């Protein structure tokens, strides 16, 4: 089986590295797209000989034009599946429609708890005893689409942001590649808002 996967990034790229290192998913990655130049994630892709592209919001008149640029680039590459790996820009509904059911995001909380870009800090601030990781299909709303997989991560009394984020990352690095594999292999079935993963469900969290 072959597939064409695009990965969207904004920063260090540890989730991208997990995808690159996955023996199944890594060879599927055709392009890595960033909203920022000169970031470690792009260097990780370039070291593997994978095409990269930088599309910055500031270069476009508005978010709609920015979204179309990202969408058109991926459509031109005949991309089958898109994976957000720490991508910090919100794309409009046009992108969600173009890749409906084929766009995954990994989020560092048990959605719908703690959406947004400060989820680990929010979990600590709220004093929760358990947080976690969610992989979901992306729709027209932020951190809202149908949930593919979740796994809990305990929050310990002496945790700080660095400690908790490190344990969250360990789970992200396992769940995201497993979800990409399931989607590409046709093992992901959507029934309303319920995602059912056929075979290998043990790979997708607890």
Which residues belong to the active site?
107
Q: What is the 3-state secondary structure (H, E, C) of 88-119?
A: CCCCCHHHHHHCCCCEEEEECCCCCCCCCCCH
Strand ordering across the sheet containing 130-137: 51-54, 29-34, 5-9, 81-84, 103-107, 130-137, 147-154
42, 51 contact by CB (below 8 A):
no
Could you tell me the CA-to-CA distances from 188 to 7, 104, 105, 205 in Å, in that order?
19, 12, 15, 14
Within a 13 Å sphere around the CA of 77, how many CA atoms are in the beta-carbon half? 24
């Amino acid at each position: 089986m072959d597939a064409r996967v695009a990965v969207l990034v904004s920063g260090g790229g540890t989730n991208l590295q997990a995808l690159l290192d996955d023996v199944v998913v890594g060879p599927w990655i055709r392009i890595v797209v960033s909203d920022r130049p000169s970031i470690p994630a792009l260097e990780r892709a370039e070291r593997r000989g994978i095409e990269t592209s930088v599309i910055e919001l500031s270069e476009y008149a508005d978010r709609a034009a920015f979204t179309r640029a990202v969408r058109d680039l991926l459509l031109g590459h005949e991309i089958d599946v898109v994976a957000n790996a720490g991508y910090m820009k919100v794309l409009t509904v046009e992108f969600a429609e173009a890749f409906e059911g084929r766009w995954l995001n990994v989020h560092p909380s048990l959605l719908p708890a703690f959406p947004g870009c400060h989820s680990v800090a929010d979990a600590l601030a709220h004093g929760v005893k358990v947080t976690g990781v969610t992989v979901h299909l992306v729709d027209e709303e932020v951190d809202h689409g149908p949930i593919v997989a979740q796994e809990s991560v305990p929050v310990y009394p002496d945790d700080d942001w660095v400690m908790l984020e490190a344990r969250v990352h360990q789970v992200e690095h396992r769940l995201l590649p497993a979800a990409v594999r399931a989607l590409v292999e046709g093992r992901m079935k959507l029934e309303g808002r319920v995602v059912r993963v056929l075979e290998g469900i043990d790979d997708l969290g607890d």
